[in-house]
Amino acid sequence: MKRLFIAILLVASAAFAQDKKTPPEPEYNTVREFKNKVFEIHNRDPRIVAGSVKLLGSGFKGADLSVSSELKTITVRDFPENIAAIEEAIKRLDQPAPTAPDIEFKIAVLIGSKTPLNAASVPEELDPVIKQLQSTLRYNHYGLMTATVQRTKAGDGVKGSGVAESTLLGMTPNQERPVFYDYNLYRVSINDAGVDIERFAFSMRVPIVVRSGGEIQYQNVGFETPVSLHNKEKVVIGTTTMGDKALIVVVTATK
């Protein structure tokens, strides 16, 4: 009788051990039907979009999401409601990147002199700058050597060059030589208040009369400086002197 009882216990223990075995992995879905859909990505990197929407999938075995960077597509195999959620998310994410606003620069090169100048008059919009210069510099007369308007975007820069008449600097017609100038605005960026310029470089090659024999030689003048401008503010970026005259660079940035 005891032997029979022990045998029954052994059989029961074996059955209990079988019940505690790891259940088999779930089979592929056979009850609900998967759907397939291919989404074309037009404006963004499909890998980034796919990484953002993949958690909207069901996660059920057999569902899948694949990306083709070459074709710019995302292919989804999932339940219809999951595909619909992924489609809606892709519509929101696949939008053109916001265009960086243009920045307009007005660059004016003024001439300061102790004596009257044979130069173009300074635009009225720069009158406040002239009053400021007259109160801080020793020059009473100001004229416009050149002015230009250029546009760029954040992250880019601006380059420009030109030629001006040397008579603007007081040279006589028989001594006349061209004045060469160029400027470079490196890495323009936008902030809440206005615009930052990593480095503003301005240089000129100016003809100078050498006293011995009246020979004319070229002299290089200019400056480099970082600049911060408030929106639509007129700022004197730098000055450089040439004998009894001065060149003053004024910049206005509008974003």
What CATH number is given to the structural domain containing 65? 3.30.1370.120
147 and 54 in a common domain = no
Domain assignment present for 213? yes
211 and 123 in a common domain = yes
166 and 65 in a common domain = no
Percent helix, strand and coil across the chain, each rounded to 5? 25, 45, 30
For residue 9, what pLDDT is reported? 45
Per-residue exposure over 121-150, b if at least 16 CB sit within 10 Å of its own CB, e if not: ebeeebeebbeebeeeeebeebbbbbeeee
Domain assignment present for 230? yes
174 and 222 in a common domain = yes
Locate tokens 């009158």: which residue?
Answer: 127
Which positions ≥6 away from 204 have C-beta within 8 Å? 179, 180, 181, 220, 221, 222, 240, 247
127 and 64 in a common domain = no
Domain range for 128 is 102-254
Q: Are 153 and 103 in contact (CB under 8 A)?
A: yes
For residue 179, what pLDDT is reported? 84
Which positions ≥6 away from 113 have C-beta within 8 Å? 139, 140, 141, 142, 143, 170, 244, 245, 246
Residue 64, pLDDT > 80, answer yes
Domain assignment present for 210? yes
Domain assignment present for 243? yes
226 and 132 in a common domain = yes
Tell which of 74, 93, 112 closes a domain. Answer: 93
Domain assignment present for 15? no
198 and 123 in a common domain = yes
Higher pLDDT, 234 or 165: 234
Domain assignment present for 14? no
Higher pLDDT, 137 or 67: 67
For residue 93, what pLDDT is reported? 95
Give the pair of three-digit tokens for residue 146.
């050149």
Q: Which of 19-28, 163-172, 230-239 is predicted most confidently? A: 230-239
65 and 139 in a common domain = no
pLDDT in tens, 175-213: 677 889 999 999 999 988 999 999 999 998 887 766 666
Residue 16, pLDDT > 60, answer no
pTM: 0.60
Beta strands (DSSP E) in 28-83 are: 35-40, 64-68, 73-78
Which positions ≥6 away from 238 have C-beta within 8 Å? 200, 202, 223, 225, 248, 249
Q: Where are the alpha helices (DSSP H) in the chain?
A: 2-19, 46-53, 80-93, 127-136
Residue 173, pLDDT > 70, answer no
Domain assignment present for 5? no
Q: Compute the CA torsion angle 141, 201, 209, 246 (nearest 10 deg).
A: 20
Domain assignment present for 37? yes
Residue 243, pLDDT > 80, answer no
Q: Of 235, 234, 206, 236, nearest to 219 (Cα)?
A: 206
140 and 40 in a common domain = no
Query: pLDDT-derived band of residue 30, with 50, 70 and 90 as boundaries?
Result: low
234 and 201 in a common domain = yes
174 and 81 in a common domain = no
For residue 10, what pLDDT is reported? 46
Structural domain count of the chain: 2
